[in-house]
Homo-oligomer: A and B are copies of this chain.
Amino acid sequence: MPDGGPVIILTRPQMGENIGAAARAMLNFGLTELRLVDPRDGWPNPRAVAMASGAAGRVLDRARVFPTLAEAMEGISYAFATTARGRELTKPIFTPATAAAHARTEIAQGGRVAFIFGPERAGLDNADVARASAILTVPVNPDFPSLNLAQAVLLLGYEWAQDRLPMQPMPAGRRPPGEIPADRVEVERLGDHYERRLDEAGYFFPELKAPSMKQNLRNLWARMPLTRADVQVLHGMLRHLTRAR
């Protein structure tokens, strides 16, 4: 897993459960350094531990607690304050994607990056935001912008881990433009049609293998980028083939 990654700073977190959920979200994307500023219910917090099972518990064990945000930024060269507001402060604004890219550059140049999150109810206040190098805002539906603490950490971790984790994106398979894509229900009926005729023809033999043969066939139809016309052609082929017998 990546090392020297961003530090997550939770400022005055309220619920232990949310601290535990944030630790889980961090570890999902390989982030392991957590700092807490003045947690409401003290520290350690048994509710946080109950929420962060297994390896995420070790993130909590190693968490450091600070009395103020200023002190929690020890060793940090670039800090993002996560907030939907704070626009009255002159400060660069990043999305999770652009912030993650900026963090990679900063870290590659020998810096250490922190992402600061505020209390669940009120979020970061302006005095906190004024201490950060930049603002991080997650673009959300303006009519329903309610992300919780762990979700915000999750999205940030997800962007940070892009291109760092083993699974790389695969290029997409395209269908020729101008063709009407088949409805999945049409594809299901096509699968039914073939399965029925092949069954009658004794294709699914030996019986022991029939379920996996049927599943593979189902999968074959499903992954074809079929058009409506393709489906008609395949039905027609089958009708002709079985009429001959």
A residues touching B (Cβ–Cβ < 8 Å)?
1, 24-25, 27-30, 54-56, 70-71, 73-79, 87, 89-98, 101-102, 105-106, 109-111, 114, 126-127, 129-134, 137-147, 151, 154-155, 158, 161-162, 165-177, 179-185, 188, 215-216, 218-220, 222-223, 225, 227, 229-230
Contacts and interface: CB of A to CB of B under 8 A. Distances in A.
Nearest 4 A/B pairs, CB to CB: A73-B184, A77-B181, A130-B219, A139-B165
Contacts of A55: 143-144
A165 to B, nearest CB: 4
Contact of A109 (B79, B144, B181): B181
Contact of A169 (B139, B141, B147, B230): B139
A110 B180 CA distance: 8
A165 B13 CA distance: 28
A59 B97 CA distance: 28
Nearest to A230: B90
B89 A219 contact: yes
Contact of A93 (B25, B78, B89, B170): B170
B98 A130 contact: no
Most buried by B among A56, A97, A151, A229: A151
A222 B172 contact: no
Contacts of A181: 77-78, 106, 109-111
A174 B25 contact: no
B219 A91 contact: yes
A172 B92 contact: yes
Given A56-B144, A185-B73, A94 B170 contact: yes
A229 B176 CA distance: 52
A65 to B, nearest CB: 16
Contact of A147 (B28, B98, B170, B223): B28
B29 A177 contact: no
A25 B168 CA distance: 25
Contacts of A126: 215
A190 to B, nearest CB: 12
Contacts of A230: 90
A188 B94 contact: no
A182 B184 CA distance: 58
